[in-house]
Chains A and B, each alone.
Chain A
Amino acid sequence: MNYSDLLVQGLVEGCIYALIAVGLTLVYGLLRILHIAHAGIFTLGAYVGLLLTNETGSFAAAFVITVVAVGFFGMAFYRLFYEPILDKPPHVALIASIGLFVAMEEIYRIVFGATSISFLAPPLKDTVEVAGVRLEEGRIAVVVLAVVLIGGLAVLAGRTRIGIAWRATVSDAAMAESFGIDLARVRYINFFVASALAAAAGVMVALLLNQVIPTMGGVPAYKALAIIVLGGLGNVKGTLIAALALGVIESFGTIYLDRVLDRDAIAFAFLIAVLMIRPQGLFARR
């Protein structure tokens, strides 16, 4: 492998991390909840996307349905589990979230079985050459989706009235409410967007690995946590940069750190190093 291969593979990984971590940082920014069960929603997206593809034969249709359906699932999840404990201290929601994540993994094991499931006819497996690098179509799709979905989110947040209301609520919820913004609606939208992005990441990971297992959310759960801390909790731009950086660093790490550090340990080594130098995260504003 040459450098450009490593860089491109790293950016593809980074796009997946970004799709997962942006939702996590959105939830933290709005509600100060560390939403660990977000990784369980990612896994749900993977299962639903794979099973729908096998059922319908159309990956594209399955993808769209999964992203929307899991988005609504995220809204219901918020309503059922987080809304009743919003006035409790943040560690209550954190503990609830960890418990929910464990429970989700067990439910997937019971419902879908402990062994992996694969696509009957794995889609987007052909390779094409882009700028001298041979890439699977699936990997290109990951990058395109990340750009379209996160770009769409940026337009929503920056250009629309509800997006402005959303950012105002993140900044000062009481003031936002006193000008007529419906906080419950903002929270629902927040969970819809976060969960839809996680589902998109889940389907794409299922596609790249061609398998789905109940525990596939475990590693993304802690990596996404490391990413949003590095990005400055609640800071979306910082999270995007941290996600891409981690993808690239891991990619090069598999060659250069192979003997020293496992690939999945790099995120934490990176996290510890950064927190020792800049405890507020790399991109914290305040």
Chain B
Amino acid sequence: MLQLDRLTCGYGPFRAVTDLSLEVPDGSVLALIGANGAGKSSTLMAVAGHVSAMDGRILFDGADITGEPARARVRRGIALAPEGRRLFPDLTVQENLTVGGYSRSRRAEARNVERVMALFPRLEGRLTQLAGSMSGGEQQMLAIGRALMAEPKLLMIDEVSLGLMPAVIDMCYEALGRLRDDGLAILLVEQSTQRAFDIADTVCVLESGKAVWTGAAEAAREDPALVEAYLGLAQ
């Protein structure tokens, strides 16, 4: 589904990611892990179209989307729940979801709101509340829900667990597990390695913008020390 082919990207003269190649097959989950500044978020932003590629290619469903604007990528089926969530705080929950589904029809919107409510019952009854007035956990659920409104084939999530209480993190991961079981491909950035290993099929460790270890999540689960060692290198 998603394929990065020797992708190099960054901001101005600064390179955040160098020569990164990875693949997220249909219906699978890839976890990107690494220290702060390793290039995880930049990778997601490049796939979403907010950071421009300096070199290499981004392929989605076989099409080269490297130069496409963000607006076109969401129609292809790429949606992002970004770092810091970046909800529209002055808009209501319902309005945030409406924006999430802006690339789809009005009829699809009503259907998708129901799907999001089924996934995150905590959001039900809060549709008229301002997004900025909700708790961090509810905001994270809304950020994921907003991305799902775009009917993505690939969902990208940056730092699901950052700053959230364990019970809320569990709820989010449970929802992600259900989405995976429904066949959605997920590209996950996470600092909490254990949670990432549990849900992922593949793990990719980034260090200073380069992939230093890529392998099956099982291998990482069975021998966490292996990945920790690579993470340790980065710190």
Fill in one digit per residue for B46-76: 1 if any A CB lies within 8 Å of its CB, else 0.
0011100000000000000000011101110
Q: Which of B94-102, B168-176, B223-231 contacts A (4 or more CB under 8 A)?
A: B94-102
B11 to chain A, nearest CB (A): 13
A181 to chain B, nearest CB (A): 5
**Are B88 and A168 interface neighbours, CB within 8 A?**
yes
Say whether B80 faces chain A, with CB atoms less than 8 Å apart.
yes
User: When chains A and B are docked, how far (Å) is the Cα of A176 from the Cα of B102?
Assistant: 9
Q: Taking A172-B88, A174-B50, A178-B48 as contacts, is the C-beta distance between A164 and B99 under 8 angstroms?
A: yes
Say whether B90 faces chain A, with CB atoms less than 8 Å apart.
yes
Q: Taking A161-B102, A180-B150 as contacts, is the C-beta distance between A174 and B70 under 8 angstroms?
A: yes
What residues of B have a CB within 8 angstroms of the CB of A164 in the complex? 91, 95, 98-99
Q: Chain A contact residues (Cβ within 8 angstroms of B): what range?
A: 10 to 19
| Residue in chain B with minimal CB distance to A175 | B86
Of residues 46 through 78 on chain A, the ones whose CB sits less than 8 Å from some CB of chain B are none
Q: Taking A161-B102, A180-B71 as contacts, is the C-beta distance between A175 and B82 under 8 angstroms?
A: yes
What residues of B have a CB within 8 angstroms of the CB of A179 in the complex? 74, 79, 99-103, 146, 149-150
User: When chains A and B are docked, how far (Å) is the Cα of A165 from the Cα of B100?
Assistant: 10
| Residue in chain B with minimal CB distance to A158 | B95
Say whether A109 faces chain B, with CB atoms less than 8 Å apart.
no
Say whether chain A's binding surface is mostly helix, strand, loop, or mixed: helix
Of the candidates A174, A182, A285, the one having the most CB atoms from chain B within 10 angstroms of its own CB is A174
Fill in one digit per residue for A160-171: 1 if any B CB lies within 8 Å of its CB, else 0.
010011011001
Residue in A172, A178, A285 whose CB lies within 8 Å of B71? A178
What residues of A have a CB within 8 angstroms of the CB of B73 in the complex? 178
What residues of B have a CB within 8 angstroms of the CB of A178 in the complex? 48-50, 70-71, 73-74, 80
Say whether A177 faces chain B, with CB atoms less than 8 Å apart.
yes
**Are A161 and B106 interface neighbours, CB within 8 A?**
yes
Q: Taking A161-B98, A167-B95, A175-B82 as contacts, is the C-beta distance between A180 and B88 under 8 angstroms?
A: no
A234 to chain B, nearest CB (A): 11
Chain B interface, number of residues (Cβ within 8 angstroms): 29
Say whether B183 faces chain A, with CB atoms less than 8 Å apart.
no
Of residues 175 through 196 on chain A, the ones whose CB sits less than 8 Å from some CB of chain B are 175-182
What residues of A have a CB within 8 angstroms of the CB of B69 in the complex? 177
Of the candidates A174, A175, A182, the one having the most CB atoms from chain B within 10 angstroms of its own CB is A175
What residues of B have a CB within 8 angstroms of the CB of A171 in the complex? 88-91
A7 to chain B, nearest CB (A): 32
**Are B91 and A181 interface neighbours, CB within 8 A?**
no
**Are A167 and B90 interface neighbours, CB within 8 A?**
yes
| Residue in chain B with minimal CB distance to A176 | B99
What residues of B have a CB within 8 angstroms of the CB of A177 in the complex? 69-71
| Residue in chain A with minimal CB distance to B70 | A178
Q: Taking A178-B49, A180-B74 as contacts, is the C-beta distance between A167 and B102 under 8 angstroms?
A: no
**Are A180 and B90 interface neighbours, CB within 8 A?**
no
| Residue in chain A with minimal CB distance to B94 | A164
| Residue in chain A with minimal CB distance to B149 | A179
**Are A167 and B88 interface neighbours, CB within 8 A?**
yes
Of residues 248 through 278 on chain A, the ones whose CB sits less than 8 Å from some CB of chain B are none
**Are B91 and A168 interface neighbours, CB within 8 A?**
yes
| Residue in chain A with minimal CB distance to B82 | A175
What residues of A have a CB within 8 angstroms of the CB of B89 in the complex? 171
What residues of A have a CB within 8 angstroms of the CB of B50 in the complex? 174, 178
**Can you spell out 26 A-B residue pairs with CB atoms less than 8 angstroms apart?**
A161-B102, A164-B91, A164-B95, A167-B88, A167-B90, A168-B95, A168-B99, A171-B90, A171-B91, A174-B70, A175-B82, A175-B86, A176-B88, A177-B69, A178-B74, A178-B80, A179-B79, A179-B99, A179-B146, A179-B149, A180-B75, A180-B102, A180-B103, A180-B150, A181-B71, A182-B71
**Interface of A with B (CB < 8 Å)?**
161, 164-165, 167-168, 171-172, 174-182, 285
5 smallest beta-carbon distances between A and B, as pairs: A180-B103, A171-B88, A178-B70, A168-B99, A180-B102
Inter-chain pairs besides A178-B50, A179-B146, 9 sampled, C-beta below 8 Å: A164-B98, A167-B88, A167-B91, A178-B48, A178-B49, A179-B149, A180-B102, A181-B102, A182-B71
**Interface of B with A (CB < 8 Å)?**
48-50, 69-71, 73-75, 79-80, 82, 86, 88-91, 95-96, 98-103, 106, 146, 149-150
